[in-house]
A = this chain, B = another copy of it.
Amino acid sequence: MATPTQSARPSPERIFGVLNAFQSSAALKTAIELGIFTAIAEGVDRASVIALRVNAAERGVRILCDYLTIHGFLIKADDRYVLTQESAIFLSRHSPAYMGTLADFLVSEAHKRNFDALTETVRKGGTAVAQGDNTKPNDELWVTFARTMAPLTTVSAGFIAELAGAKEGRACKVLDIAAGHGMFGITIAKQNPNAQITAVDWAPVLAVAKQNAAAAGVADRVALRPGSAFEADLGDGYDIVLLTNIFHHFDMPTCEKLMRRVHGALKPGGRAITLEFVPNEDRVTPPTAAAFSLIMLAGTDAGDAYTFSEYEKMFQNVGFVMTTLHPVPDMPQQVLLTEK
């Protein structure tokens, strides 16, 4: 949405802006799809030339680039556009931190459908359109997730590897639940040559993790266990179990069911490492973590963004002894470190 004009008197401008906010998601996705940021990173800077480079109409590119400037993704000087620092780092395909692929998951038809049905969903109290039971496979959604969302994990995967003491290099058995792209376990395996990773997810999703493990040169230390985290044989004796972005899909009894399985798979003194959107107890701060709850309302039967005290209690209920909270630097997520 456009930044509202600050005014002491009440104005409908912000309401107008939020009702139009869906346009900003579409505009950013389109710019990523067309490669606008990549073209500018390569040195073209006028709408006419960018248009030639990305195979689009000058009028379309001019209006889109102006809009991206209004929303802070470009800087315009006269009729030349340059990348902001953030766009150069995250939106140019030439950047190692490129995360344009996120648009394919976050602004997918599936997510848009969920929000098109939001009124019915609020009436019902759970998703009115999606397959809302995430204990069942949903290959199309989760393969897309695995293929597109890995770039968002770089910082948090590094942070988790550090919490796991990966660089100390001790022999370490790691279970990666709902591994998806596998990057959390793979990052530990890259930093610790004595780490053995076991990745659990649906088979088509694990195929993506397998590719990523091979690309990282750690495929020989990443074992795959296809199946449901709620039903597959997880093995046991793990030093660490990774639970990244999984609990928010379920109601509390289902979370506890998974936690109980994790508790059984850990060796004494082992640790569960949970990556989550964890709002404060008021459930309305910090904004990105708290707002995540609506995505779960829209797309699941009973998932939520749980608070720290809720996580602490659930882990306690199944026998864990202590949970501590660790914000991921510069990211909206937090890590819960829970000891068996």
Contacts and interface: CB of A to CB of B under 8 A. Distances in A.
A298 B30 CA distance: 12
B57 A125 contact: yes
B28 A15 contact: yes
Interface stretch (A195-203, A207-215, A225-233, A284-292): A284-292
Contact of A4 (B7, B18, B115, B288): B288
A61 B22 contact: no
B56 A19 contact: no
Contacts of A291: 2, 20, 23, 67, 70-71
A184 to B, nearest CB: 17
Contact of A18 (B25, B34, B55, B290): B25
Given A23-B115, A59-B126, 13 more contacts: A9-B329, A9-B330, A11-B330, A13-B288, A16-B332, A20-B295, A21-B25, A22-B26, A22-B115, A30-B122, A66-B290, A67-B290, A76-B284
22 contacts: A4-B287, A7-B330, A12-B102, A14-B72, A14-B86, A15-B99, A15-B102, A21-B21, A21-B24, A26-B116, A29-B118, A56-B122, A56-B123, A57-B124, A58-B125, A59-B302, A63-B122, A64-B122, A67-B291, A69-B284, A70-B285, A70-B291
